[in-house]
Amino acid sequence: MYKINVIIIEDEFLALKRLESMVARIECLTLSGSYEDLIHAKEALESGNVNLMISNIQAPGSDTLTFLRSISNPPFVIFVTDHREFAVDGYELDVVDYILKPLLTPERFEKAISKVRNLIISQQQKQLNQILKFKDGHKSIFINSDHIFYIKAMGDYAQIITKDENHTVSTTLKDLEKRLNENRFIRIHKSHIVNVNQIKSVEAIQVSLKNNFKLDIGLKYRANLYSIMGL
């Protein structure tokens, strides 16, 4: 199941504990941190690792709406607040939901989380046929990520093995890993990333791909691979 990384920004202690309790009850949510003001939450938000921010719209420390407008990749947002007058501004920022505290119930909270989950699923569907673009001298190479079997590290270069041909591109495996859909591609070795949809079988120390290639599994990557493959 896809895990949604959540942070909570709430300066009222009882309200914070109530939200933490609601988050803990929903299996797909992982609480990454709780903060009493935006200043202390900024580092987490700017890291790009937060999928959902649940916040009091007037949390101390900064203007929440202004800050959300300033970051390049803002998380989904659910506002839980007493301040009805900010609802219009919130919706202009594509805030997923806006819950007034007197109306906050577990059922209402789960409804808001369902909206977030559906948006994430929609994003994932759009990424399924992700097209990767690389420069090769004066020309550009376009590779459909769905056609990739695996990617091999070659120092400052990477070799991309696809259904039709192989491409050597000027990028590191680490940089490629950031660009790829994390639910489709997994690092199984310091030198290899594989497309999980192209895995035919998994043995103790190797994976077999649908093109009959066999790749070693690095010890530090084994547990994550087994978890993703349900082993």
Residue whose token pair is 């789960």: 110
Question: Which domain CATH number covers 176?
Answer: 2.40.50.1020
Cα–Cα distance measured from residue 130 to residue 48, given in angstroms and rounded to the nearest whole number: 20
* 79 closest CA partner among 62, 58, 61: 58
Q: Which domain range does residue 36 map to?
A: 4-127
Q: Within this chain, do residues 138 and 24 fall inside the same structural domain, yes or no?
A: no
Q: Within this chain, do residues 107 and 145 fall inside the same structural domain, yes or no?
A: no
Q: Within this chain, do residues 119 and 9 fall inside the same structural domain, yes or no?
A: yes
Q: How many domains does the chain have?
A: 2
The order of strands in the sheet holding 185-189 is 166-169, 157-162, 148-154, 192-195, 185-189
Q: Note if the pTM is more than 0.85.
A: no
Question: Which domain CATH number covers 18?
Answer: 3.40.50.2300
**How do residues 53-81 score in pLDDT, each as one tens digit?**
998 866 555 567 777 777 767 789 999 98
Q: Of 112, 127, 142, which marks where a domain is finished?
A: 127
* 221 closest CA partner among 201, 200, 193: 193
Q: Within this chain, do residues 122 and 157 fall inside the same structural domain, yes or no?
A: no
Q: Within this chain, do residues 141 and 178 fall inside the same structural domain, yes or no?
A: yes
Give me the tens of pLDDT residue by residue for the chain, a chain 231 residues long: 568 999 999 989 999 999 999 999 999 999 999 998 888 888 888 777 889 999 886 655 556 777 777 776 778 999 998 766 655 455 555 689 989 888 999 999 999 999 999 888 777 666 555 778 887 767 788 888 888 999 999 988 999 999 888 988 888 898 888 888 877 889 999 999 999 989 999 988 999 999 999 999 999 999 888 888 877
